[in-house]
Structure 1
Amino acid sequence: MVTPVLTIVVPCYNEEEVLPETVFQLSGVLDALIQDQLISNESTLLLVDDGSRDATWELIERFHTTNTFVTGLKLARNAGHQSALLAGLMKAKEHADCVVSIDADLQDDVDAIREFVMKYHEGYDIVYGVRQDRSADTFFKRATAQGFYKLMTRMGVNIHYNHADFRLMSRRTLEKLEHFQEVNLFLRGMVPLLGYPSTKVYFTRKERFAGESKYPLRKMLAFAFDGITSFSVTPIRFVTTMGFLLFALSVVAALYAIIGKIMGATVTGWTSLILSVWFIGGVQLLALGLIGEYIGKIYKEVKRRPLYIIEKEVTAENRELAVQKPSKTAWSK
């Protein structure tokens, strides 16, 4: 059996509190897979610093000199989670046969990576990590998450329920993903479009090991809206349908107002106010805002600005300190 080269890509933004434990656990996973001859000993851990303001990059450089698994990319600015993840994926595909993406907070089960690799050996190009359930979430978070996935499905977006960005992808899928030139990234919607053989691995999500979530409610709502408007024109069609319905209601309201006017049962000015403000004004503002969102996305697309700029990188080739690969128990936290 040919052992593939595996790279684990970890986007990092202000993760100095959790990063030592993340490196420790993921290095242990790589070491165990190598010992079991499931992956090559050339496999690596790629940490992508997404313009962090803390000591994240300094930690990456330190781990690079003491742990031969660790490589790193430093982006010149905070490009966002999706762009940082894409930067790591595109870099990893240069030497890896398969790539696993996982967040730095250790909420995704690192032990599931072994199952990912087993599925890869069975011939699957894409393996989705899917949450077993949401019993640990608060009622509000569970309800909003379920609503998000259901809404995306109804909008016509092909997305896997309870799957975020914890997945394995083969090199050939990453090479095809590179052909997607969207500036407005929504990877969990883009990957299913590739169409290669795929499967799912279920896991139980854990509590964040340390630090604070980088996705508060405001960012989660913005991310959901970006996903919908990047993959579906259904909202525009909904506005059109709503416009016809409100036009019909306006006709009914107009007849009611005219009858009231004839019978003398209206206050002066009420007719024009109710028709112009309640119906037309609200619909126009909603429609203009939604159309403006789509125009804004078109504006970003046609400018073709780079999604990220790599400022620094530390790789196996430019390692400053050559050390022998330590045992699992030797990795310093």
Structure 2
Amino acid sequence: MKAITFDQFGSTDVLKIGEVPEPVLRPHDLMVRTRAAGVNRADLTHRRGGYGWPDFGDSTIMGLEIAGDVIAVGEQVEGYAVGDRVMGIVGGGAYAEVSRIDYRMAMPIPAGLDYIQAAAITEVFVTAHEALIHLGKLQPGETVLIHAGAGGVGGAAVQLAHASGATVLTTAKASAHAIVHKLGADHAIDYETQDFAEVVAQRTDNRGVDVILDFIGAPYFERNVNSLNFGGRLVQIGIMGGVENAKIPLDRVLYRHLQIVGTVMKSRTQEVKHAMSRRFRERWLAHFVQDGLSPVIDSVYPLAEAGAAQKRMEDGLNVGKIVLVTGAD
């Protein structure tokens, strides 16, 4: 089968397409003819060497998100058969014409969605649900601030927060404000020209928001804490802006009874990942298409152009998900 490989860490130029053996089917696996694969920031970290070498998760091939057709099932698989259309999160191996997935991480592709849309759902929506609903305990009627609302996870979070009955504030470039409003944001903040903490104070009469979902890290940390209402929850799911010099206003944490939670799916055990996928599937899968939930697709690239796809993400040009298509027959 064809797959994206690389023999050294570095820039997108190290990515090559070539022939590799198909994965071996295990008892709990589905073997999937990959039609599309989502591109995620973890893929960039893998390429640069952030996860070490050569053992990366479940495969030395990169990629965490697939959509395709089941072509074989393991002996302990329940609920799936050859020919089923499935999508889900894999432990590596998505950048290939054939991939394997633990059936407990898979879910059926809702009717009305194509493979490209399906490949853009699971990583971002499972992460968003876990952060906002399971850990952030967002409730109807509460107010949430979602940073990077035009990104993959951010856009999914805006949709889920809106569907949950929350008032949604989000940060995004001015050029993306129309998109985040379409996703369900009640107010968009231009992070290039506005201080989000000042806007939150104005919009909430200085009460603050109930939940904040943040990908940035240290540059936003103090202002995030100061923007929380009594009993507020800050869920940290990224550190794109770094970790150095993060100031913690401990008096605010103490007297406002705040909660600060960090989460990264990649470092969770398989059992926890199974539970995360199950929670999302049970709560939201039926809401796609008919109730308006939908992935935001930025662009689509052939598998052979994985380097160009990652470069687009690396340069911060994407609004929504970047997807690779294999062209597999």
TM (norm. structure 2) is: 0.23
TM (norm. structure 1) is: 0.23
Higher fraction of helix? 1
User: Rg: which structure is higher?
Assistant: 1
Higher fraction of strand? 2
